[in-house]
Amino acid sequence: MVAPFAAAKAYAAIQAQATSLTQSAPTVNSAKGSDGHGFADILKSAMTDAVQSSKTAETKMIAQTQGKADLVDVATAISSAQASLQTVMAVRDQVISAYQEIMKMPL
């Protein structure tokens, strides 16, 4: 189960990223704006963030076993990594669903 604080933190981070992208990107009708922030870039960023939070959680776990980190920090890092992974999986499921719907369309 995802801790409410970790979920709120992940949501705030994604919202801040989306806000900065929409403010910096001009309105363009293509899949990729002139500043290079396309759908693929957003997905790549989300994947990178998920991997980074997993590595951070692993580092915190190792530090805790060595007695150098607080257990609360470890639990928070693990919750953050779990929330990031669940977000990536949800996006993946939606992309696959959209692809399947497109493939069902008659020509």
Q: 84-88: which pairs have CB atoms within 8 A and are 24 or more residues apart?
A: 84/10, 84/46, 84/49, 84/50, 84/53, 84/54, 85/50, 85/54, 86/2, 87/10, 87/14, 87/46, 87/50, 88/46, 88/47, 88/50
Rounded to two decimals, what is the model's pTM? 0.59
Q: Where are the domains of the chain?
A: 4-14+37-104
Rg, Å, the chain Cα set: 18
Q: Is the dihedral of CA 26, 31, 34, 38 positive or negative?
A: positive
State how far the Cα of 56 lies from the Cα of 82, in Å rounded to an integer.
12
* pLDDT (mean) for 66-86: 91
DSSP state of 67: T
pLDDT for residue 14: 67
pLDDT digits (tens, 9 = 90+) for 25-60: 444 444 555 556 788 888 888 888 889 999 999 999
Most confident of 22-26, 44-48, 64-68: 64-68
